[in-house]
A and B are shown apart, each in its own frame.
Chain A
Protein backbone atom coordinates (compact mmCIF):
# COMPACT_ATOMS: atom_id res chain seq x y z
CA UNK A 1 0.00 0.00 0.00
CA UNK A 2 1.67 3.14 -1.20
CA UNK A 3 1.21 5.90 1.35
CA UNK A 4 2.96 8.60 -0.66
CA UNK A 5 2.05 8.85 -4.33
CA UNK A 6 3.58 10.80 -7.14
CA UNK A 7 1.30 10.00 -10.03
CA UNK A 8 3.31 11.72 -12.73
CA UNK A 9 6.46 9.76 -13.52
CA UNK A 10 7.77 12.57 -15.70
CA UNK A 11 7.28 16.26 -16.48
CA UNK A 12 8.77 18.40 -19.22
CA UNK A 13 8.92 22.19 -18.93
CA UNK A 14 10.48 25.05 -20.89
CA UNK A 15 13.23 27.05 -19.27
CA UNK A 16 11.86 30.09 -17.48
CA UNK A 17 8.41 28.60 -17.00
CA UNK A 18 6.92 27.22 -13.82
CA UNK A 19 7.36 23.56 -12.88
CA UNK A 20 4.67 22.04 -10.67
CA UNK A 21 5.29 18.66 -9.12
CA UNK A 22 2.47 16.98 -7.26
CA UNK A 23 2.28 14.53 -4.40
CA UNK A 24 -0.60 12.85 -2.60
CA UNK A 25 -0.57 10.97 0.67
CA UNK A 26 -3.01 8.67 2.39
CA UNK A 27 -1.75 8.47 5.96
CA UNK A 28 -3.41 11.15 8.10
CA UNK A 29 -0.67 10.66 10.71
CA UNK A 30 1.89 12.31 8.44
CA UNK A 31 2.71 15.76 9.75
CA UNK A 32 5.97 16.71 8.07
CA UNK A 33 6.69 16.71 4.37
CA UNK A 34 9.88 17.06 2.40
CA UNK A 35 11.04 17.28 -1.18
CA UNK A 36 14.30 15.79 -2.32
CA UNK A 37 16.13 16.22 -5.61
CA UNK A 38 18.18 13.42 -7.11
CA UNK A 39 20.63 13.38 -10.00
CA UNK A 40 21.58 10.06 -11.63
CA UNK A 41 24.10 7.98 -9.68
CA UNK A 42 23.97 10.36 -6.71
CA UNK A 43 22.19 10.36 -3.39
CA UNK A 44 19.07 12.51 -2.97
CA UNK A 45 19.61 15.99 -1.58
CA UNK A 46 17.15 17.81 0.62
CA UNK A 47 15.36 20.67 -1.09
CA UNK A 48 12.55 22.04 1.04
CA UNK A 49 10.13 20.94 3.73
CA UNK A 50 6.85 21.93 5.30
CA UNK A 51 5.18 21.19 8.59
CA UNK A 52 1.49 20.36 8.74
CA UNK A 53 0.85 23.53 10.74
CA UNK A 54 1.65 25.55 7.62
CA UNK A 55 0.21 25.61 4.14
CA UNK A 56 3.11 27.23 2.34
CA UNK A 57 6.86 27.42 2.61
CA UNK A 58 9.09 29.34 0.26
CA UNK A 59 12.82 29.20 -0.35
CA UNK A 60 14.07 31.18 -3.30
CA UNK A 61 12.71 29.69 -6.51
CA UNK A 62 11.12 26.79 -4.64
CA UNK A 63 7.73 26.87 -2.91
CA UNK A 64 5.91 23.98 -1.34
CA UNK A 65 2.16 24.11 -0.82
CA UNK A 66 0.27 21.81 1.52
CA UNK A 67 -3.45 21.11 1.37
CA UNK A 68 -4.18 18.97 4.41
CA UNK A 69 -7.85 18.44 3.68
CA UNK A 70 -7.00 17.04 0.26
CA UNK A 71 -3.86 15.27 1.54
CA UNK A 72 -1.98 16.90 -1.28
CA UNK A 73 1.21 18.85 -1.60
CA UNK A 74 2.98 20.41 -4.51
CA UNK A 75 6.38 21.83 -5.31
CA UNK A 76 6.57 24.91 -7.51
CA UNK A 77 9.81 25.91 -9.19
CA UNK A 78 9.83 29.39 -10.69
CA UNK A 79 11.58 30.10 -12.96
CA UNK A 80 12.67 26.64 -14.03
CA UNK A 81 16.29 26.21 -15.11
CA UNK A 82 17.98 23.40 -17.06
CA UNK A 83 19.98 22.55 -13.93
CA UNK A 84 16.72 21.70 -12.20
CA UNK A 85 16.41 18.63 -14.41
CA UNK A 86 16.43 15.71 -11.97
CA UNK A 87 14.16 13.24 -10.22
CA UNK A 88 12.13 14.84 -7.44
CA UNK A 89 10.96 12.73 -4.53
CA UNK A 90 8.19 13.64 -2.16
CA UNK A 91 8.56 12.27 1.37
CA UNK A 92 6.49 12.27 4.54
CA UNK A 93 6.96 11.46 8.19
CA UNK A 94 4.59 10.66 11.00
CA UNK A 95 4.25 12.18 14.39
CA UNK A 96 6.97 10.09 15.95
CA UNK A 97 10.20 12.00 16.25
CA UNK A 98 13.57 11.10 17.56
CA UNK A 99 14.40 7.44 17.69
CA UNK A 100 11.51 6.25 15.53
CA UNK A 101 11.79 8.94 12.91
CA UNK A 102 11.65 7.68 9.32
CA UNK A 103 10.56 8.95 5.95
CA UNK A 104 8.20 7.35 3.46
CA UNK A 105 9.01 8.30 -0.13
CA UNK A 106 7.02 8.49 -3.31
CA UNK A 107 8.29 6.93 -6.54
CA UNK A 108 9.59 10.21 -7.86
CA UNK A 109 8.92 12.48 -10.83
CA UNK A 110 11.55 13.05 -13.49
CA UNK A 111 11.63 16.75 -14.34
CA UNK A 112 13.21 17.81 -17.61
CA UNK A 113 13.72 21.52 -18.18
CA UNK A 114 14.35 22.26 -21.84
CA UNK A 115 16.54 25.23 -22.81
Chain B
Protein backbone atom coordinates (compact mmCIF):
# COMPACT_ATOMS: atom_id res chain seq x y z
CA UNK B 1 0.00 0.00 0.00
CA UNK B 2 1.01 3.59 -0.52
CA UNK B 3 2.16 5.84 2.31
CA UNK B 4 3.26 9.44 2.47
CA UNK B 5 5.65 10.89 5.01
CA UNK B 6 6.29 14.49 5.93
CA UNK B 7 8.87 15.94 8.26
CA UNK B 8 9.42 17.75 10.48
CA UNK B 9 5.97 17.71 12.05
CA UNK B 10 6.51 21.04 13.76
CA UNK B 11 9.03 23.78 13.24
CA UNK B 12 9.62 27.17 14.86
CA UNK B 13 11.93 29.41 12.89
CA UNK B 14 13.02 33.05 13.17
CA UNK B 15 12.28 35.53 10.41
CA UNK B 16 15.01 35.46 7.78
CA UNK B 17 16.08 31.89 8.44
CA UNK B 18 15.99 29.15 5.77
CA UNK B 19 13.40 26.39 5.51
CA UNK B 20 13.35 22.87 4.25
CA UNK B 21 10.30 20.60 4.51
CA UNK B 22 10.53 17.12 3.08
CA UNK B 23 7.96 14.72 1.74
CA UNK B 24 8.38 11.18 0.49
CA UNK B 25 5.91 8.73 -0.95
CA UNK B 26 6.22 4.97 -0.77
CA UNK B 27 4.49 2.19 -2.66
CA UNK B 28 3.92 3.99 -5.94
CA UNK B 29 5.91 5.27 -8.88
CA UNK B 30 5.67 8.44 -10.93
CA UNK B 31 3.10 10.10 -8.67
CA UNK B 32 1.92 13.67 -9.04
CA UNK B 33 3.11 15.51 -5.95
CA UNK B 34 1.66 18.64 -4.38
CA UNK B 35 2.40 21.18 -1.66
CA UNK B 36 -0.60 22.88 -0.06
CA UNK B 37 -0.70 25.42 2.74
CA UNK B 38 -3.45 26.02 5.25
CA UNK B 39 -2.97 29.46 6.78
CA UNK B 40 -4.96 30.53 9.84
CA UNK B 41 -8.60 31.10 8.93
CA UNK B 42 -8.08 30.13 5.32
CA UNK B 43 -8.64 27.08 3.19
CA UNK B 44 -6.14 24.84 1.50
CA UNK B 45 -4.07 26.78 -1.00
CA UNK B 46 -2.12 24.96 -3.69
CA UNK B 47 1.47 26.19 -3.72
CA UNK B 48 3.31 23.82 -6.07
CA UNK B 49 2.73 20.65 -7.97
CA UNK B 50 5.06 18.32 -9.81
CA UNK B 51 4.41 15.74 -12.50
CA UNK B 52 7.93 14.35 -12.57
CA UNK B 53 11.54 14.70 -11.47
CA UNK B 54 12.72 18.27 -11.85
CA UNK B 55 9.29 19.44 -13.05
CA UNK B 56 7.74 22.06 -10.80
CA UNK B 57 4.71 24.25 -11.38
CA UNK B 58 4.11 27.21 -9.11
CA UNK B 59 0.54 28.26 -8.46
CA UNK B 60 1.06 31.49 -6.58
CA UNK B 61 3.93 33.99 -6.37
CA UNK B 62 5.59 33.64 -3.04
CA UNK B 63 8.67 33.42 -0.94
CA UNK B 64 8.90 29.66 -1.28
CA UNK B 65 10.33 27.22 -3.81
CA UNK B 66 9.95 23.51 -4.43
CA UNK B 67 12.15 20.80 -5.83
CA UNK B 68 11.74 17.18 -6.82
CA UNK B 69 15.15 15.56 -6.85
CA UNK B 70 13.79 12.01 -6.97
CA UNK B 71 10.61 10.42 -8.24
CA UNK B 72 9.05 10.07 -4.81
CA UNK B 73 10.64 13.01 -2.99
CA UNK B 74 9.26 16.54 -2.86
CA UNK B 75 10.94 19.37 -0.96
CA UNK B 76 9.61 22.78 0.01
CA UNK B 77 12.23 25.44 0.68
CA UNK B 78 12.81 29.05 1.47
CA UNK B 79 16.04 31.03 1.69
CA UNK B 80 14.60 33.65 4.06
CA UNK B 81 11.36 33.08 5.92
CA UNK B 82 8.74 35.79 6.40
CA UNK B 83 6.19 36.05 9.16
CA UNK B 84 3.49 35.40 6.56
CA UNK B 85 5.01 32.00 5.78
CA UNK B 86 3.58 30.63 9.03
CA UNK B 87 1.01 27.93 8.44
CA UNK B 88 0.27 24.25 8.14
CA UNK B 89 1.99 22.74 5.12
CA UNK B 90 0.60 19.64 3.53
CA UNK B 91 2.20 17.36 1.00
CA UNK B 92 -0.08 15.22 -1.15
CA UNK B 93 0.15 12.73 -3.97
CA UNK B 94 -2.08 11.23 -6.59
CA UNK B 95 -1.64 8.47 -9.10
CA UNK B 96 -2.21 8.88 -12.80
CA UNK B 97 -4.57 5.99 -13.34
CA UNK B 98 -6.97 3.70 -11.59
CA UNK B 99 -8.90 4.38 -8.43
CA UNK B 100 -6.22 6.64 -7.00
CA UNK B 101 -6.10 8.94 -9.97
CA UNK B 102 -8.79 11.32 -8.83
CA UNK B 103 -8.09 11.48 -5.12
CA UNK B 104 -5.32 13.39 -3.40
CA UNK B 105 -3.85 11.60 -0.42
CA UNK B 106 -2.32 13.94 2.12
CA UNK B 107 0.50 13.59 4.57
CA UNK B 108 0.12 14.45 8.25
CA UNK B 109 1.34 18.01 7.70
CA UNK B 110 4.12 20.24 9.00
CA UNK B 111 3.26 23.10 11.33
CA UNK B 112 5.57 26.08 10.68
CA UNK B 113 5.67 29.05 13.03
CA UNK B 114 7.82 31.99 12.00
CA UNK B 115 8.67 34.36 14.85
Interfacial residues, chain A to chain B (CB-CB below 8 A): 4, 6, 32, 34, 36, 41-46, 49, 89, 91, 93, 97-108
Contacts and interface: CB of A to CB of B under 8 A. Distances in A.
A107 to B, nearest CB: 4
A46 B103 contact: yes
B22 to A, nearest CB: 15
A99 B32 CA distance: 7
Contacts, number: 64
Interface residues of B, number: 28
Contacts of B46: 102-105
B54 to A, nearest CB: 14
Given A103-B46, A105-B43, A107-B43, A41 B103 contact: no
Nearest to A105: B44
Nearest to A51: B102
